[in-house]
């Protein structure tokens, strides 16, 4: 690898705002916000809206959509559209 062309790859804490889970990993992402980890060291923390800990695909808790109401609204809206002449 060439020297001085790659970003700094260091330990970072990702904080899932939806579930509250925190994950310590290495990344090139940086932040001015810091947090003290369980090992007593201070690491930069990056807040994320969603992660595998809170995403419905990974948790299996998917929301049920009101598809019947949407279909009825669609049919009511386009009731006479494309009718036979």
| Digit-coded pLDDT (tens) for 23-62 | 999 999 999 999 999 999 999 999 988 887 777 666 667 6
Cα 47 to Cα 34: distance, rounded to the nearest angstrom: 11
User: Of 28, 81, 19, 75, which Cα lies nearest the Cα of 50?
Assistant: 19
Question: What pLDDT band is residue 84 in, cutting at 50, 70 and 90?
Answer: low
pLDDT at 28: 94
Whole-angstrom distance, CA of residue 62 vs CA of residue 56: 5
Structure tokens of 14?
Answer: 């990702």
Secondary structure (3-state) at 71: helix
| CA nearest to 30, candidates 52, 8, 48 | 8
């Amino acid at each position: 690898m060439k020297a001085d062309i790659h970003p700094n790859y260091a330990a970072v804490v990702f904080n899932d705002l939806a579930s509250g889970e925190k994950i310590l990993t290495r990344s090139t992402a940086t932040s001015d916000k810091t947090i003290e980890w369980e090992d007593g060291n201070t690491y930069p923390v990056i807040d994320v809206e969603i992660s595998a800990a809170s995403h419905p695909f990974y948790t299996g808790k998917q929301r049920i959509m009101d598809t019947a109401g949407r279909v009825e609204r669609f049919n009511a809206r386009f009731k006479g559209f494309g009718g036979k002449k």
